[in-house]
């Protein structure tokens, strides 16, 4: 079914009488059905795991402006759970596990024009330096035009044609040549 669009798959599923044909899409992690991923982590890692203990929320200048209840509960681009009362809305712009810090800043601090990919996995010919590709950085994001600035066995550096919001280290980046998925890696 990889060549079909999602609406086409749903149409075929309806024609076959499959009960999942009109099932809403999940926004949650599939193996954490109640959505409590921090509880899931605590049950497996222990509540005293470094990713789940309180730490500092800092601004872009490094000033502590609040406390978080475990950096594992935050992701780049998040606005909820940061505490309000400030004139300008703040967003998570970085997580620093080595310091147990969550860094926040204004929305415009979320945009990046370049990023690296590591742990590369190519299922077609790898792109070459200078090649134009499309890169999808989130599940629901539209693939964005980018140029491969550098590539080797250790990773790739890509430059977006237009800066993108919330490029998140640790997440997957999928690389396309036209409509063909050619591979990807982990965003660093």
Q: Are residues 87 and 56 in the same domain?
A: yes
Q: Are residues 99 and 115 in the same domain?
A: no
Residue 130 lies in a domain: yes
Residue 17 lies in a domain: no
Q: Are residues 115 and 161 in the same domain?
A: yes
The Cα 51–Cα 145 span in angstroms is: 34
Structural domain boundaries enclosing 66:
52-105
Domain holding 145: CATH number? 2.40.30.10
Contacts with 41 (C-beta within 8 Å, 6 or more apart), sequence order: 49, 51, 52, 72
What is this structure's pTM? 0.70
Q: Are residues 121 and 181 in the same domain?
A: yes
Q: What are phi and psi of 110, to 5 degrees?
A: -85, -15
Q: What's the pLDDT at 27?
A: 57
CB 125 within 8 A of CB 182: yes
Helix, strand, coil % (nearest 5) of the chain?
Answer: 15, 40, 45
pLDDT band at 29 (very low <50, low <70, confident <90, very high): low
Q: What's the pLDDT at 125?
A: 94
Q: Are residues 115 and 176 in the same domain?
A: yes
Extended strands (E) in 62-188 = 64-68, 91-96, 101-105, 111-122, 132-136, 144-152, 155-165, 172-177, 180-187
Residue 5 lies in a domain: no
The tally of domains found in the chain comes to: 2
Q: Are residues 84 and 116 in the same domain?
A: no
Residue 6 lies in a domain: no
Residue 180 lies in a domain: yes
The Cα 46–Cα 125 span in angstroms is: 43
Q: What's the pLDDT at 37?
A: 81
Question: What letter would DSSP give residue 11?
Answer: H
């Amino acid at each position: 079914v990889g060549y079909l669009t999602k609406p086409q798959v749903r149409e075929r599923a309806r024609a076959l009488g499959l009960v999942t044909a009109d099932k809403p899409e999940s926004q949650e992690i599939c193996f954490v059905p109640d959505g409590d991923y921090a509880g899931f982590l605590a049950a497996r890692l222990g509540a005293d795991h470094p990713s789940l203990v309180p730490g500092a929320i800092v601004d872009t200048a490094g000033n502590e402006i609040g406390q978080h209840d475990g950096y594992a509960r935050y992701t780049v681009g998040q606005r909820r759970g940061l505490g309000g009362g400030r004139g300008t809305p703040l967003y998570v712009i970085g997580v620093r596990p080595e310091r147990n810090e969550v860094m926040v800043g204004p929305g415009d601090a979320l945009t990046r024009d370049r990023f690296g990919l590591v742990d590369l996995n190519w299922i077609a010919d790898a792109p070459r330096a200078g090649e134009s590709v499309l890169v999808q950085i989130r599940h629901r994001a539209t693939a964005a035009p980018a140029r491969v600035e550098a590539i080797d066995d250790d990773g790739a550096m890509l430059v977006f044609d237009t800066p993108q919001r919330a490029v998140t280290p640790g997440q997957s980046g999928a690389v396309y040549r036209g409509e063909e998925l050619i591979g990807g890696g982990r965003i660093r």
